[in-house]
Amino acid sequence: MRKTVVLLFISVMALSCGREIAAEDLAKLNGYWEIQEAVMADGTQKEYTVNPTIDFFELKGKTGFRKKVMPQFDGTYRVNDLLENITIEQKEGKTFVNYTTEYAKWKEEIIGLSQEELVVKNQHDIEYHYKRPKPFSVK
């Protein structure tokens, strides 16, 4: 029984710690991401059913940028010149995205990253869940 409790504790601790994202998996960050929901530190959830903007990431190695783009009814995106420079930092088994603009610096921890899902957590322990947007057109 004692061994089971110790094993369970070790498993929970290992899973609760962030995992470092493999360098080859970082390329999955590239492309368009649409926010799906935010999970607050207290566990409450906010769903995003309609998104006027979508995040576009471009990463080469461990540096790149993120832009907010606006989907149009013809399936294209409206883009402006504003962007956030990003760098990837891997530290103590965790992977962080460091953002820098002319006015601010902040970071988010990557909790999960696959081809179809991105989960990040900010310094306020708010998790943001993203999915790949589905293309649409009203032509």
Q: CB neighbours (10 Å) of residue 139?
A: 5
Q: Which fold is adopted by the domain 19-131?
A: Lipocalin (2.40.128)
Q: What is the pLDDT of residue 14?
A: 40
Separation CA 90–CA 50 (nearest Å): 33
Average pLDDT, consecutive stretches of 10 residues, N- to C-terminus, the chain (139 residues): 42 48 93 97 95 95 96 89 96 96 97 97 98 77
Q: What is the pLDDT of residue 138?
A: 61
**pTM of this prediction?**
0.81
Q: What is the CA radius of gyration of the chain?
A: 17
Residues 18-28 as b/e (b if ≥16 CB within 10 A, e otherwise) read: beebeeeebeb
Q: Report domain extents, the chain.
A: 19-131
